[in-house]
Amino acid sequence: MPTTRATADRSVVRTLLRLWPYVRPVRARLFTAAAVAVVASCTGLVIPLVLKWLVDGPVADRDPAGVWLGALYLLLLGIAEAVLFGIRRWLVARPLSHVEAEMRADLYRRLQRLPVAFHDRWASGQLLSRGTTDLMLLRVFLAFPLTFLLVNGVTILVGVAIMLAQDRTLGLVILGPAVPVMWTCVVFERRYARVARRAQDQVGDLTTVVEESVLGIRVVKGFGRHRSQARAFRDLAGRLRGTELRKARLLATIWGVIVALPEVAIGAALVLGAVRVADGDLSAGTLVAFLSTALALRWPVDSIGFLLAMTQEAATATERYFEVMDEAPEGSGEAREALVGSGEAAVPGPVAVGGGRAGSGIRFEGVRFRYPDAPPGSPPLLDGIDLHIRAGESMALVGATGSGKTTLTALVPRLYEVTSGRITLNGVDITAMSREELRSRVAVAFEEPTLFSASVGENVLMGAPDGAGKPALDRALAIARADFAHTLPQGTDTRVGEQGLSLSGGQRQRLALARAVVGRPEFLVLDDPLSALDVHTEAAVEAALRQVLADTTALIVAHRPSTVLLADRVALLSGGRIAAVGTHRQLLRDHAEYAHLMSGERQETR
């Protein structure tokens, strides 16, 4: 995961304003809800004025009818306040659920469009926490703290104005703690921002550990590592607990200050007011109204602490959300523009139209590749790859472990972008095609087959054009020798479970191979597609694959002679370059490194 960005100098307001495009469609209901809440809160401030009239009038005059009338006024005001707050909640519930759903959908769409290099850097738990916990925090913020920061601010201003109008001296006493409270809020906000960010990042780390433990449960149990995994989880959970306790201490500190200072001011105002009433300088009704107004403002003032805390958490959640949304998606051109600045941009070269025979098939021209997060100055993994796979030809790619075979195959469907050079399909630079067009022409089967929590048929037909049906599915299963799918409890409608772990490795690999061939691709890239198969199944799949390879242009990563023999020619990848190209027999006879790789024997040192 990328390094946590500093939050100390960020603008909370500017950060939260980034939510405006999502809030704008529902702004009318939210503004209406805020206005209703302001009216409801100010309605509560009318109650002290009614109390003043009641004490100085009907109570002082011993008028029972007036007392009952005052009680009726108070009841009606209480009902009005409750109804208005109920309307506010009704107004915000539906639009805010819509905002959350839209943000979550946009995040998911962006994750689908981000390049593989991004997913290589980020832990999945961090992404999950952004799509769940962080968005929940934002919905809560928009529903409650955002509104009540406005409502409570207006309420405090109106309440202070009422108190100053009733008695300026008592009003100034109440305002005494304002400066220390504001200073405490400023200090608290800066410290709480850092701790809130740390806590949310730690939640992402904890989510990653849980996800990895669940997906790798067979490894954990098989090696008896449940205790070490539990310790790792406990350590992370302990750090998160410590951070949450730090947040609680900060919140307790500001709450203590915000609650204590106003309470002292109210006590001082009560003593001073009682003395003045006794001296005849102040009416009892005015003192009652003043103290009632001050007590009505306790909640708006006391809530400042946790409203600021929730605002900081929402700002941090917004920051984390847009860290993903700000990443350049595939096709944005930003990565290649960066390479232009570094002098390593791909040389576009002429773009052929129609693709004559000389340029047909797959051609690598001076291809260099370095991973985006590789240390500066490190040598490229692939350096000057020149390779031509003719139309209708199948070529095996052979090399030692770590030589870059899988990376080279990933460049064809543009899972990674070349650092320099170019790749063409039938003479057309792959960067001149849209990714949708490119990936509709190139099918890929990876060495590690990934299946989704869906039916067998749905997993296989992911590789077919929309509308492909059972005939295409049955053909692909037959080619991949995956007929076992028909014997499953619900046939091809059987759900395979998360990651397909309910199937054997060989079964998963055959389904992945079926997915690659189901769309009758023009170009086929296979990354060691037979590694998990037993000898008999491998022979059957090879026989079927030969039929498929006869009608397509294929690049096949191979580690075993049986897989190499599927191809027309073989390319040896060594030292980041294509060291030799020829038939299997030619390379066995003429190239010692290739013969060593195919024999598996230890090469003698000279």
Q: At what angle do helices 304-325 and 124-131 cross, to 10 degrees?
A: 130
Q: How confident is the model at residue 334 (pLDDT cuts 50, 70, 90)?
A: very low
pLDDT of residue 365: 92
Rg (CA), the chain: 35
Instruction: Tell me which DSSP letter residue 391 carries.
Output: T
For 132-225, where are the alpha helices, taking DSSP H only? 133-143, 145-166, 168-175, 178-215, 217-222
Q: Which residues pair with 385 in a beta bridge?
A: 367
In this prediction, residue 532 carries a pLDDT of: 60
According to the model, what pLDDT value does residue 352 have?
36
Q: Write out the E strands in 305-381.
A: 362-369
Q: Provide the pLDDT confidence category of residue 570 given band limits of 50, 70 and 90.
A: very high
Joined tokens for residue 206? 């904890």
User: Band of the pLDDT at 312, cuts 50, 70, 90?
Assistant: confident
Q: Which residues pair with 556 in a beta bridge?
A: 396, 526
What is the rounded CA–CA span in Å between residue 561 and residue 585? 11
Residues 199, 110 share a domain:
yes
What's the rounded mean pLDDT across residues 245-271?
A: 84
Answer whether 173's CB lies under 8 Å from 291's CB. Answer: no
Determine how many CB atoms are found less than 10 A away from the CB of residue 20. 9
Per-residue pLDDT for 335 more than 60? no
Amino acid identity at 56: D
The confidence score (pLDDT) of residue 223 equals: 64
Beta bridge mates, 581: 571
Regarding whether 405 and 286 lie in a shared domain, the answer is: no
Residue 386 pLDDT class (50, 70, 90 cuts): very high
Percentage of the chain lying above the pLDDT 70 cut: 89
Mean pLDDT value of segment 446-467: 80
- Whole-angstrom distance, CA of residue 24 vs CA of residue 31: 10
Last residue of a domain, one of 302, 325, 348: 325
330 in a structural domain: no
Spatial strand order of the sheet with 420-425 comes to 382-389, 362-369, 420-425, 428-429
Residues spanned by the domain of 264: 12-325
Same domain membership, residue 437 and residue 293: no
Q: Is the pLDDT of residue 8 over 50?
A: no
pLDDT of residue 499: 64
Q: Is residue 235 part of a domain?
A: yes
Express each pLDDT in 195-209 by its tens digit.
Answer: 888 888 888 888 888
Please write the tens of the pLDDT for every residue from 399-454: 888 888 888 998 998 888 898 999 999 989 998 988 888 888 888 887 777 778 78
Q: Categorize the per-residue pLDDT at 349 as very low, low, confident or very high, splitting at 50, 70 and 90.
A: very low
The CATH number for 277's domain is 1.20.1560.10
With cut-offs at 50, 70 and 90, classify the pLDDT of residue 215. Answer: low
Residues 402 and 264 in one domain: no
Considering the domain architecture, whether residues 108 and 18 belong to the same structural domain is answered as yes
- Mean of all residue pLDDT scores within the chain: 81
Confidence check: pLDDT of 221 > 80: no
Indicate whether 604 belongs to any domain: no
**Domain membership flag for residue 605:** no
**Most confident region among 89-93, 100-104, 296-300, 512-516 by mean pLDDT:** 100-104
pLDDT at position 359, please?
57
* pLDDT on residue 5: 45
At 573 the three-state DSSP class reads strand
Alpha helix locations (H) across 3-63?
Answer: 12-16, 20-23, 27-54
CA-CA distance, 479 to 540, in Å (whole number)?
9
Residues 134 and 18 in one domain: yes
Identify the CATH number of the domain in which residue 532 sits: 3.40.50.300
Q: What's the pLDDT at 555? A: 92
- Residue partners of 492: CB distance under 8 A and separation at least 6: 455, 456, 457, 460, 470, 473, 477, 485, 486
d(CA 225, CA 236): 17
Q: What is the mean pLDDT of residues 309-338?
A: 77
Q: What is the pTM of this model?
A: 0.71
Q: 175 and 299 share a domain? A: yes
Tokens of 556: 């096949």
pLDDT of residue 350: 38
- For the segment 503-530, the average pLDDT, to the nearest whole number, is 82
Lowest mean pLDDT among 1-10, 37-46, 517-526, 568-577: 1-10
Using an 8 Å Cβ cutoff, are 327 and 27 in contact?
Answer: no
Q: Is residue 355 part of a domain?
A: no
CB 143 within 8 A of CB 395: no
188 plus 319 within the same structural domain:
yes
Going by C-beta distance under 8 Å and a sequence separation of 6 or more, which residues neighbour residue 194?
7, 8
Task: Find the mean pLDDT for residues 313-319.
Answer: 89
Q: Could you give the angle at the alpha carbon of 124 between the alpha carbons of 197 and 95, nearest 5°?
A: 65
Does some domain include residue 283? yes
Verify that 408 and 502 share a domain, yes or no: yes
- pLDDT for residue 1 is more than 60: no
Number of domains making up the chain: 2
Does residue 370 fall inside a structural domain? no
φ, ψ of residue 328 in degrees (nearest 5):
-70, 125
pLDDT of residue 486: 87
Boundary (domain end) residue, out of 325, 347, 370: 325
pLDDT tens for 62-107 read 778 777 887 887 888 888 878 887 887 777 777 888 888 899 999 9
State residue 399 phi and psi, 5-degree precision. 180, 165
Q: Which of 145-154, 171-180, 212-221, 573-582 has the lowest mean pLDDT?
A: 212-221
Predicted local distance difference test score (pLDDT) of residue 498: 64
- pLDDT-based confidence at residue 218 (cuts at 50, 70, 90): low
pLDDT for the residue 248: 86
pLDDT bracket for residue 357 (50, 70, 90): very low
Asked if 305 and 400 sit in the same domain, the reply is: no
DSSP letters for 319-384: HHHHHHHTSPPTTS-HHHHHHHHHT------PPPSS--GGG-SEEEEEEEE--TTSPTTPPPSEEE
Domain's final residue, options 325, 342, 373: 325
> What pLDDT, on a 0 to 100 scale, did the predictor assign at position 4?
46
Whether residues 444 and 319 fall in one domain? no
Q: Which of 25-34, 182-191, 285-294, 549-558 has the lowest mean pLDDT?
A: 182-191
Q: Which of 487, 485, 486 is nearest to 500 (CA)?
A: 485
Alpha-carbon gap, residue 414 to 330, rounded angstroms:
9
Whether residue 214 is predicted with pLDDT greater than 80 in this model: the reply is: no
Task: Give the pLDDT mean for 142-166.
Answer: 84
Same domain? 180 vs 305: yes
pLDDT at 213 over 90: no
